[in-house]
Amino acid sequence: MSLAIGVDVGGTKIAAAVVDEWGKIVAQLRRPTPANDADQVAATIAELVKELGAEHEVTSIGIGAAGFVDSLRAKVVFAPNLAWRNEPLKERVERATGLPTVVENDANAAGWAENRFGSAQDARSAVVLTIGTGIGGAIINDNQLVRGANGFAGELGHFIVRPNGRRCGCGLRGCWERYGSGSALVVEARELATVAPERAERLLELAGGNPLRVEGKHVTQAAREGDAAALDCFDALGDWIGRGMAVIDAVLDPDVFVLAGGVAEAGDLLREPVLKSFHKRLTAQGYRDAPHVRLAILANDAGMIGAADLSRQPQ
């Protein structure tokens, strides 16, 4: 049995797992991310690998990094939430562990896992959307990750859906993730609770009466209870996500879209309004099969599973 270690490096935690060739996690560990110290991030990854490797015979390491990874899958060029600037992560981890290492964008790693072992494993082409604070993406075509000339393909949250719209952390205005993410859901709910408190009574109750304290978990809870205001917020979010997916479909024509990430854990509360919006805007309706739209099944393990599996793939 071939074992590899997959590491998922986020802004708050580093999770590492021993993963077999069928995508099953054998063992895993977690540590807080020393986000402001690039040296310590590399050292923490190496510590986790050595601890897991002491109990399991592993052959390679895959790292899913929250940032822009170069075309050689060796260097993190830039990470918005970590102290990585042209960080030679592959070299540093290989030197510390003695194991061959591959670095990949975290959304690509998670998307690869869903394509190999999860919701899209029957698809030749798929787009996996990680919907959380922002929107990440992975594009798989003919069972290969689409990485682009610089390795930056799949940054789907940053195409423009509203010219001169809301400011985005990337420096542009009107990016898709400013309208179709978990952050956008909170913006919608807080605005509703502010301008129409009589409609948002349940949301305000969950937030202690302060519209600025409404959080995504409150919107999801209220929507599951059938609250009309919370359901309206999910409808607005789903409409924006469906709009963006229709644009992506016109460019890529995938077999499957997979909705992943923290917001997708709301299940059909999200999927149903997304489907309605997407199908309304789908090109060539009546003359084609619409892509499947599915919910991810690997949850928070996807990044580790995908990173480990990518470390086994030919470079």
- Structural domain of 41: 3-112+301-310
DSSP state at residue 53: H
What span, in angstroms and rounded, lies between the C-alpha atoms of 134 and 150?
21
Which secondary-structure segment (H or E) carries 116?
A: helix 106-117
pLDDT band at 1 (very low <50, low <70, confident <90, very high): confident
The first and second tokens of residue 133, run together, are 């604070």
| 50-104 tens-digit pLDDT | 999 999 999 999 999 988 999 999 999 988 778 889 999 999 999 999 999 999 9
Does any domain span residue 193? yes
Note whether 211 and 154 are same-domain residues: yes
Note whether 180 and 264 are same-domain residues: yes
Q: What CATH number is associated with residue 228? A: 3.30.420.40
| 223-256 tens-digit pLDDT | 999 999 999 999 999 999 999 999 999 999 999 9
What span, in angstroms and rounded, lies between the C-alpha atoms of 168 and 157?
10
Does any domain span residue 315? no
Number of domains in the chain: 2
Note whether 182 and 61 are same-domain residues: no
* pLDDT surpassing 80 at residue 315: no
The first and second tokens of residue 298, run together, are 């690997």
Does any domain span residue 150? yes
The answer to whether the predicted template modeling score (pTM) of the entire model surpasses 0.85 is yes
Closest CA to 259 of 232, 233, 227, 298: 298
Residue-averaged pLDDT of the chain: 95
Does any domain span residue 289? yes
Note whether 214 and 287 are same-domain residues: yes
